[in-house]
Amino acid sequence: MRALDPPSIDRDVPEALTLVIDDLLRRRVAEARTVDGTFAADIAGRVAAFAAGGGHRRSQLLWWAMRAAGGGDDEAEAALRMAASVELVQTCALIHDDVMDGSRTRRASPSVHASLERQYGTDGLDGPSAGFGGSGAVLAGDLALAWADDAFAEVLLMTPHSAGLGDRWRVMRTEMVAGQYLDLQTQVTGSRSAGRAMRTAVLKTARYSAVHPLLLGALLAGADGRTLRGLNRAGLCAGIAFQLQNDLQGVFGDPRRTGKPPGEDLRAGKATYLMAVARALCVRDGDAGGLRLLDAVVGSPAATERELRPVIGLLESCGARAHVAERADRLCARTLRTLRQTELVPGPAEHLARLLLDAGGVALPAAGPGGDGAGAGERTGAATGRAVAASGAGR
C-alpha cells in the first residue's frame, strides 16, 4: 500500500480509505486461509466483501474531524487505520441486524445469512440445518468485530492519545449494542412511545453513526474539550436527522436506491419515530379508523403491497411524513450553526458540514458552514410540531 500525505488524501478520501481497508481485509482473509479454507471462503470472505462494499460515510467523518481539529502528517496513517476499524464495527452491526430483522437483502444483494442458506440449500429446512444461515451470519459478525478490535488496538500503539480513544471506542461499542437491543425490545413489547423511539434512534444511529466517528477523529488530533463538545452536539443533531430520514426512506423510498424490499419496515412493525408521530396525530384528530388501520397492518409480516398502500397514504395525509421531514431539516440547521460556532480548520470543516447534512438529506447552502441559510429549516413545520408535542409525540 503506497503512503499518502494528508493533502493528497484530502483530494480523494474515499480512495485512500479503500486502499487501507482493502489492504487490511486482504491480510485478514489470508490469515483465515491458514486456519481453514472453508471458513475463509464462507465466513471471512463474506465479511471482507461486505466491509469493502460500504459507503464509508463514518470513515470520512472520522478523517475530516481529525483534519478539522488540526491533525496532519502525524495522524494520517492512524486515522485511516482507525477508519477501517469503524467500518468493520459497522459490518458486524449490519450483518447481525439483518439476522435479527430477518432481512433477505442488503445493498440490493442477498444478506449474509440469506447467501449462506442459498449456497447450502438450507432455507426452510427443519432439524439440524434449521437456522444454519443465521448462525453462520452471527459468526461472520463476530469475526468482523474481532477484526475491528484488532485493528483498533494497533492504532493505539501509534498515538499519544490512546487513553481517550480507548474510552471512546468502548462507549461506542456498548451504545451500539444497547441501541440494537432497545430496537428489539420495543418491538416485542409493542411500545408506541415517541420518547422510546427517539432514545433508540440516538443510541443505535445518532451517536454510533455520527458522534463517535467525529470524536474519534478529533481525539486523534488532540482536540480540546470545547471542540469535542461542539462536535458532539453537531454529530448528535445530524445523526438524529439521518435516522429520521432513514425511517422515511424505509416507507417512502425507492427500493432501487434503498436496497430493501418496499414496506419492509412496516411489515416488521418497526417502532420508529415516524410511526409514533402518526399515532399521536390520529389520536389528536380523533381518527379511530386510522388507528385501526395501523393496528391491523403495521407489524403484519404477510401484509401485501395493496394492504400497505392505505397505511402509506395515511402517513402522508395525517401529516406524519411532513412533520418528521421538517424535524430533520431543523436538526440539520442546528448542525450547521453548531459547526459554525466551533473552532475548526475552515476547509475541513466545510467537508464535515457537507457530509453531516447530506446524511440528513439536506444540501449545504452555497455560503458554506457560515452561510445565512442555517436557520431556514427551524421555521418550517411549527404548527405541526406544536400539535404533535401537545399529543406527546414531540418529546
Q: What is the mean pLDDT of residues 84-96?
A: 95
Which pLDDT score, from 0 to 100, does residue 186 have? 86
**201 pLDDT higher than 80:** yes
**16 pLDDT higher than 80:** yes
Confidence band, pLDDT 50/70/90 cuts, at residue 205: confident
Q: What whole-number percentage of the chain has pLDDT above 90?
A: 70
Q: Do domains 1-159 and 162-395 have the same CATH topology?
A: yes
For residue 130, give Cα distances in angstroms to 27, 44, 97, 126, 140. Answer: 33, 22, 19, 5, 17
CA 53 to chain centre: 15
Secondary structure (H, E, C), 110-135: ECHHHHHHHHHCCCCCCHHHCCHHHH
CB of 141 within 8 A of CB of 167?
Answer: no
**25 pLDDT higher than 90:** yes
**174 pLDDT higher than 80:** yes
Which pLDDT score, from 0 to 100, does residue 259 have? 66
Confidence band, pLDDT 50/70/90 cuts, at residue 339: very high
Neighbours of 22 (CB within 10 A): 15
How many residues are recorded in the chain?
395
CB of 300 within 8 A of CB of 224?
Answer: no
DSSP string, 141-158: HHHHHHHHHHHHHHHHTT
**379 pLDDT higher than 60:** no
User: Any idea which residue has 399515532 for its cell?
Assistant: 279
Which pLDDT score, from 0 to 100, does residue 369 have? 43
Packing angle, helices 73-101 and 57-68, rounded to 10: 150
Which pLDDT score, from 0 to 100, does residue 361 have? 62
Indicate the class that CATH gives domain 1-159.
mainly alpha
- Window from 35-49, 52-66, 338-352 with minimum mean pLDDT: 52-66
Neighbours of 274 (CB within 10 A): 24
C-alpha cell at 95: 450483518
Domain spans in the chain, listed from the N-terminal domain onward = 1-159, 162-395
Phi, psi dihedrals of residue 253, rounded to the nearest 5°: -75, 160
**382 pLDDT higher than 60:** no
**308 pLDDT higher than 80:** yes
Which pLDDT score, from 0 to 100, does residue 372 have? 37
C-alpha cell at 391: 399529543
Most confident range, picked from 105-114, 121-130, 211-220, 266-275: 211-220
CB of 272 within 8 A of CB of 251?
Answer: no
Q: What is the mean pLDDT of residues 207-224?
A: 96
CB of 223 within 8 A of CB of 251?
Answer: no
DSSP string, 223-244: --HHHHHHHHHHHHHHHHHHHH
Which pLDDT score, from 0 to 100, does residue 377 have? 39
For residue 319, give Cα distances in angstroms to 219, 273, 287, 316, 386. Answer: 41, 13, 13, 6, 12
Average pLDDT, the chain: 87
Among 52, 53, 27, 22, smallest CA distance to 40 is for 27
Which pLDDT score, from 0 to 100, does residue 137 have? 96
Q: Which CATH number fits domain 162-395: 3.20.20.140, 3.30.420.40, 1.10.600.10, 3.60.40.10?
A: 1.10.600.10
**386 pLDDT higher than 60:** no
Which pLDDT score, from 0 to 100, does residue 54 have? 76
pTM (2 d.p.) = 0.85
C-alpha cell at 97: 441486524
**376 pLDDT higher than 60:** no
CA distance 168 to 213: 9
Confidence band, pLDDT 50/70/90 cuts, at residue 383: very low
Residue bearing the bigger pLDDT, 55 or 155: 155
